[in-house]
Amino acid sequence: GENVEQHPSTLSVQEGDSAVIKCTYSDSASNYFPWYKQELGKRPQLIIDIRSNVGEKKDQRIAVTLNKTAKHFSLHITETQPEDSAVYFCAASTVGGGADGLTFGKGTHLIIQP
Partner 1 sequence: KAGVTQTPRYLIKTRGQQVTLSCSPISGHRSVSWYQQTPGQGLQFLFEYFSETQRNKGNFPGRFSGRQFSNSRSEMNVSTLELGDSALYLCASSAGTLTGNTIYFGEGSWLTVV
User: Does position 24 bind partner 1 by CB under 8 A?
Assistant: no
Q: Which residues are CB-neighbours of 41 under 8 A, at least 6 positions away?
A: none
The CA dihedral of 95, 100, 102, 108, to the nearest 10 degrees, is -140
User: Does position 40 bind partner 1 by CB under 8 A?
Assistant: no
Name which of residues 49 to 108 contact partner 1 (CB under 8 A). 49, 51, 89, 91, 93-107
User: Does position 44 bind partner 1 by CB under 8 A?
Assistant: yes
Q: Which residues are CB-neighbours of 98 under 8 A, at least 6 positions away?
A: 2, 29
Given candidates 18, 46, 54, 56, which one binds partner 1 under the rule CB under 8 A?
46
Q: How many residues does the chain have?
A: 114
Kindly list the residues in this chain that would bind partner 1 in the complex (CB under 8 A): 1, 31-32, 34, 36, 42-46, 49, 51, 89, 91, 93-107
